[in-house]
Amino acid sequence: MSITLATRPRADIALVPLQDEAARLDRDDTTGSLIECIDAVFAHHPDLALLVLEPSDWMDHADWPRLSEALGGGRILRSDFYQQPWHWLQHPPSRPEQSPFEVGSGHPRRPAKPNGLVYRRADPRLERTFSLRLIEPERDLERFVRWMHLPRVAEFWEQAWPADELADFVAQRLADPHTLPLIGEFDGLPFGYFELYWAAEDRLAPYYPWASFDRGLHLLVGEEDVRGARFVDAWLGGLSHYAYLAEPRTRRLVLEPRHDNHRLFRHLERLGLSRLRDFDFPHKRASLVMGQRERFFREVL
């Protein structure tokens, strides 16, 4: 069957079914990025596990050498494709030689925080570009204060503080080597605040058997017009994708939301995040939520 994908830029391709969960991608008039074309095919065909590209059709395409070198030819597994950083990751991924284990602690030395834009991907299903960048106090503090004072946010974050206290909070997060405070954007418009943290150095560590590269998530959506399941799929899927791309040794993502955050729980399983059990923090009754790298790349993206 021939289909036109609303990628940016546009691509016309012929998708030929081969067998269960596999298809061949035939070239018709692909005018843009082959990587974005493959991304769109997988996004619009969630049951498709394998794409086959005939080298004779594609070897003169500008993206073919990079694609072939990274994936070993024209048989493209969904799970392998999305574990490549391509143009989505905006800084080099962490490498073992850059984060040796600190003597006596059992914890790796964490890489330096990236600056500015860290991740960007045009989401083929939402047809918006999701991006993440480091929070900038002079640019973001006013909206961050506004978000923290929204009743639905204050109910769970419990940080409807004065602006100067929230400014100190942001400064502390930026200075903390174990936490990465990020602003999420759709098409360049800020809509939320997210934190990625190393669980082994977090207050969560005593409550579960952590692994050295487990990454934790804190989530805040501030703008009303990007709420709902299709937006959650884009931003939480994108945030998880970034965490796995930035550190290839991260095998698990963890969250510790309040146990009664039922609106959040409705979305998590769909995005490969399972609620395991409840436990008591000193300040709240929480739920331990965990996602696995293999499941994410097999079922979510």
Return the CATH number at 214.
3.40.630.30
Q: What is the dihedral angle through the alpha carbons of 19, 38, 290, 126, rounded to the nearest 10 degrees?
A: -120
Tens digits of residue pLDDT in 223-257? 999 999 999 999 999 999 999 999 999 999 999 99
Task: Give pLDDT tens digits for 214-229.
Answer: 999 999 999 999 999 9
Q: Which domain holds residue 23?
A: 2-81
Active site residues: 256
Task: For 166, list phi and psi in degrees, rounded to 5.
Answer: -70, -35
Same domain, 257 and 221: yes
Q: Which of 35, 57, 81 is the last residue of a domain?
A: 81
pLDDT per residue of the chain (301 residues) written in tens, 0 to 9: 444 444 444 455 678 888 888 999 887 655 578 999 999 999 999 999 999 999 988 888 999 999 999 998 899 999 999 999 999 999 999 876 555 555 455 678 888 899 999 999 999 999 999 999 999 999 999 999 999 999 999 999 999 999 999 999 999 999 999 999 999 999 999 999 999 999 999 999 999 999 999 999 999 999 999 999 999 999 999 999 999 999 999 999 999 999 999 989 999 999 999 999 999 998 899 999 999 999 999 999 8
The CA distance from 269 to 256, in Å, is 15
Q: Which of 265, 147, 149, 135 is nearest to 196 (CA)?
A: 135
Phi then psi for 229, rounded to 5 degrees?
-60, -40
Looking at the structure, do residues 279 and 214 belong to the same domain, yes or no?
A: yes
Is 87 part of any domain? no
Q: CA triplet 217, 222, 223: central angle to 5 degrees?
A: 135
Q: Is 216 left (phi over 0), alpha (psi -120 to 50) or beta?
A: beta
Tokens of 6: 């609303």
pTM of the model: 0.92
